[in-house]
Amino acid sequence: MNNPSHDAPPVGAPSDTHRLWGGRFNAKSAAIMDAVNRSIGVDFRLWPFDVQLSKAWAVALQHAGVLTAEERDAIDVGLDAVGVRLAAGESPIDSDEDIHTMIDRLLHEEAGAAASKLHTGRSRNDQVATASRLWTIDACARLDAAIRELQLVLLTQAEPLQGAILPAYTHMQRAIPVSAAHWLLSHFWPLERDRLRLAAASRGTSTLPLGSGAVAGCAFPISRELLKGALGFNTLSANSIDAVADRDFVAEVIFVCALMATHLSKLAEDLILYGSSEFGFVKFGDGYSTGSSMMPQKRNPDALEIARGSAGRVLGDLVSLMGTLKGLPSGYNKDLQDDKRAMFGAVDTMLLVLPAVAGAVSELTFDTVRMRGAVSSGMMATDLADYLVEQGISFREAHKAVGSLVRQCEETGLELHTLPRSAFASAHTAFGDDVYDALSPQRSLERREVEGGTGPDAVRVQIEQARLALTPAGDATGREGALFVGRRP
Ligand code: ARG
């Protein structure tokens, strides 16, 4: 589930020489205990953030008088060297329970005695919470960019389709004609809401837990304000017990991913359906389709099907996390170690699926003749009733009169526009000679210039709003500035 490039390299030579705990134990822990406890296979990817926060922590310890300038310097240089080694693919060893332990071990190799002072006043509890938040803020920005890319592709495809007409469906039955651009953009706005939710989740994540220690707060006079500034957080956590166990930010980001996956699933389902021979509204490109090992004629929309299927997996990640959180007592509990498995799984999935869907959409071609051919005059029945309303008839009476015409169509096999003038006259005396004009799909669209409607001008405005939403300066709701705050410096 996790992107292999983020996972830890294979575990190297066995050694239990470096542990962050163990003084109070007489015997070695059981091998299976080490195996079940080890999280480095999942949390390895936190290393850039752990190095970053450790550097900030060393500065805080120096200000608090715990480290000398020389010691702080040795740690700083040592952490840089550790970063270089990790970036180069340094492998964990058996005693590296998690990434925090591994970095501590490497720092001892690089910085010697000074390294032993770095863990003063901090715990892996506030450390992992801080590193995870830094990772999450970064992930939100990456997700935002991937969503924008898909939105841009949708917008680019929608623009030339403004004049194309296809049926809109309710209950999967042909309902009323709409502009093809209007249909495609109906998939743009849910993604815009996802970006807003992500920005809110990112802001919520930007609360610094570091300085909370294991659960009661740090006993040394470190400046949390200084840490906040150095790490680019917006606010300080107000309660250390809450801070070490708060995984709301994980739940929120996975929820946004799950909802976004549902939006992608709906888009994929529309396209898969419209790409079938029965509909024939869209054609899939080569780059994002696959063939069949048996049936030579097949061109299957696999990228879209995988996107649709992924929604189930990401929902599973959300349920998995909520199941872990439910029932925990306050303070840090080791169950929380599993939060990263769920979050990395959800984010990795979305970062894979979003560009795949964007690619598949960018390669679509649209058969506007097939679209138009699916629009029958029966779909203008509402417009016909509205025609009578415009003659002063109540909608209820108009609905009934048009209903009788539709019944005649069913009985005779005719379409509304092929019924004789006399049929209209006997359905209602208010029908005039211009009744056939009410059955034009183009006219049906033009009557819907209400904001957010499918009228040509309304769709033009919508396209402007969509374009504005993608500009860095703001979006359609008038929001200003960059979406993300509290990003690491
Ligand atoms: N690997 C742990 C996690 O991800 C780090 C925190 C461990 N804390 C502890 N007290 N054992 O949650």
We report the CATH number of the domain holding residue 332 as: 1.20.200.10
Give the whole-angstrom CA distance, residue 364 versus residue 250. Answer: 35
pLDDT of res. 484: 46
Among 87, 120, 153, give the residue marking a domain's end: 120
Nearest CA to ligand 1 atom 4: 337
- Per the CB < 8 A criterion, the answer to whether 157 and 357 are in contact is no
Q: Compute the average pLDDT of residues 321-342.
A: 98
290: which 2 tokens?
A: 């696959």
pLDDT of res. 406: 96
Tokens 């209209």 sit on residue: 424
| Ligand 1 site residues, Cβ closer than 6 angstroms | 39, 43, 98, 124-125, 128, 332, 336-337
Confidence of residue 7 (pLDDT cuts 50, 70, 90): low
Asked whether residue 266 is assigned to any structural domain, the reply reads: yes
User: In the chain, pLDDT over 90 holds for what percent of residues?
Assistant: 88
Domain count of the fold of the chain = 3
Say if residue 193 is in the same domain as residue 252: yes
Given a cut of 50, whether residue 290 has pLDDT beyond it is: yes
Say if residue 255 is in the same domain as residue 288: yes
pLDDT of res. 1: 36
- pLDDT, averaged across the chain: 93
Say if residue 216 is in the same domain as residue 318: yes
Alpha helices in 159-247, H assignment, sequence order: 180-185, 188-205, 224-231, 240-245
Confidence of residue 4 (pLDDT cuts 50, 70, 90): very low
**Whether 444 is catalytic:** no
Q: State pTM to two decimals.
A: 0.91
- Per the CB < 8 A criterion, the answer to whether 131 and 488 are in contact is no
pLDDT of res. 66: 98
145: which 2 tokens?
A: 């960019």
Given a cut of 90, whether residue 488 has pLDDT beyond it is: no
- Per the CB < 8 A criterion, the answer to whether 227 and 312 are in contact is no
382: CATH: 1.10.40.30
- Per the CB < 8 A criterion, the answer to whether 408 and 423 are in contact is yes
pLDDT of res. 26: 76
Asked whether residue 260 is assigned to any structural domain, the reply reads: yes
- Per the CB < 8 A criterion, the answer to whether 300 and 289 are in contact is yes
pLDDT of res. 473: 56
Say if residue 229 is in the same domain as residue 286: yes
Distance (Å) from CA 125 to ligand 1 centroid: 6
Q: Compute the average pLDDT of residues 298-313.
A: 94
pLDDT of res. 42: 98
Distance (Å) from CA 25 to ligand 1 centroid: 18
User: In the chain, pLDDT over 70 holds for what percent of residues?
Assistant: 93
Say if residue 353 is in the same domain as residue 213: yes
Question: For residues 39 and 474, which has the higher predicted lDDT (pLDDT)?
Answer: 39
Indicate which residue of 29, 276, 292, 394 is catalytic. Answer: 292
Q: Could you report the per-residue pLDDT of 364-385, keeping only the tens digit for each? A: 999 999 999 999 999 999 999 9
Nearest CA to ligand 1 atom 12: 337
**Whether 320 is catalytic:** no
pLDDT of res. 21: 80
